[in-house]
Amino acid sequence: MPLSHISLSAGKSRAYRQAICDSLGDALSATFDVPENNKFVLVHEHEAGNFHYSADYLGVERSDELVVIQIVANNTRSLQQKKRLYERITALLGENPGVRPEDVFINLIEVPSENWSLGLGLAQYA
């Protein structure tokens, strides 16, 4: 049950933002076995003064088109699954909406399954 946060510069079209959400969902389904109806995504748009990043950290040449994706998920996936996820997200975002690989920044936060309540005040995964 991932919870995803997508941060990007303000001003992108609704279609652009939806393409990012769709590509992320497809990648999670393909690599993390996330059911297609399990989508919880928050999109955060930032004005230029509120979106700071290192343009060349670790030799990656980022642009103002940077998309930062943070995924909170159960700590049940293997290193191989994580690597496939990163590759798949980057490939799908390149296809639609056309984000350069250099502009895809992904952060995965893993938590124990009991750290979720999906409603009704219950710990559904505990």
Residue 24 phi/psi, 5-degree rounding, is -65, -45
Q: In what order do the strands lie in the sheet with 67-74?
A: 41-46, 3-9, 67-74, 104-111
41: which strand partners? 4
Task: Give the Cβ contact number of residue 48 at 10 Å.
Answer: 10
What's residue 117's pLDDT?
83
What's residue 88's pLDDT?
98
- Specify the pTM: 0.94
What's residue 38's pLDDT?
86
Answer for the pair 39, 1: CB distance below 8 angstroms, yes or no.
Answer: no
Joined together, the tokens standing for residue 31 give 């690599």
Low-confidence ranges of the chain (pLDDT < 70): 1
Q: How do residues 60-69 score in pLDDT, each as one tens digit?
A: 999 999 999 9
H/E run at residue 42: strand 41-46
Q: How far apart are CA 119 and CA 111, in angstroms?
A: 18
Residue 86 phi/psi, 5-degree rounding, is -60, -45
What's residue 125's pLDDT?
83
Domains of the chain (ranges, CATH numbers): 3-115 (3.30.429.10)
Q: Tell which phi-psi region holds residue 68, choosing left (phi > 0), alpha (psi between -120 and 50) or beta.
A: beta
